[in-house]
Amino acid sequence: MTYPILITGASRGLGAALALKLARNFHIIAVAKTTGSLEELDDRIQAIGGQATLAPLDLTDVNAVRHLCISIHERWGGLLLWAHCAIHAAPLSPANFIDARDWEKSVKINITTTGMLIPNVAPLLGHAGIAVFLNDPCAGLKFFGSYGATKSAQIALAQSWQAETINTGPRVCIVTPAPVPTATRARFFPGEDSDALSTCDIEADKIIATLGII
């Protein structure tokens, strides 16, 4: 039996594109907070002959995450791949005007949750599995303080895990997709010409090619 693929943040953007592409060959465990979006993704996966297990949960809930991981172990025994696409993109703001609630939410979702997910998901990946994190060059740009700082911290955590597992596995991949016309980017760059951007489908294909699992 081939292990399934876990995608956190699967309901939209690159997460959804990866789920659809990989569903042609693998069972997808799709995690997101919005049930309706997950059901729409499931409809699209079934339309191409794929199968998915939907897990509508709040990734900041450590008990829910632990229950999910235990359920994955009991049903499948492990994971082939974990793609972490979930992110909180706080509104743009000068650093000296960052809203305290936006900052707290950014830290909780982008840093604390990632730090909780890694030790819970790592045993399912074992030595041969793959973990994927999405880097973003917007970090450090003006007005991107909350998002940029916490996204950078998330990637720094992934880089540490990557360096620690070179000889032991799992393989940790950090990829930097080209800009794509998502709802989040539209909020960051209103009025941007979306035709000048790449697409989620194109970037998902690039990521999958890098992983070499198909």
pLDDT tens digits, 131-181:
999 999 887 899 999 999 999 999 999 999 999 999 999 999 999 999 999
Q: Domain extents for the chain?
A: 5-211
Residue with the two structure tokens 């016309």: 181
Residue 212 phi/psi, 5-degree rounding, is 70, 35
Q: How far apart are CA 30 and CA 163, in angstroms?
A: 27
Confidence grade of residue 1 (pLDDT, cut at 50, 70, 90): low
The two three-digit tokens of residue 74, written as one number: 């009991």
Query: What's the angle, vertex CA 7, arms to CA 175 and CA 140, rounded to 5?
Result: 40
Q: What are the tokens at 117?
A: 């997910």
pLDDT of residue 104: 97
Q: What is the CA radius of gyration of the chain?
A: 17
Q: What is the pLDDT of residues 48-101, one digit of tens each?
A: 999 999 999 999 999 999 999 999 999 999 999 999 999 999 999 999 999 999
Per mean pLDDT, which range of 11-25, 81-95, 177-191 is the poorest? 177-191
Fold held by 5-211: Rossmann fold (3.40.50)
pTM, two decimals, is 0.96
**pLDDT above 90 coverage of the chain, percent:** 93
Ramachandran area for residue 196 (φ above 0: left; ψ -120 to 50: alpha; else beta): alpha
Distance CA 27, CA 37 (A): 18
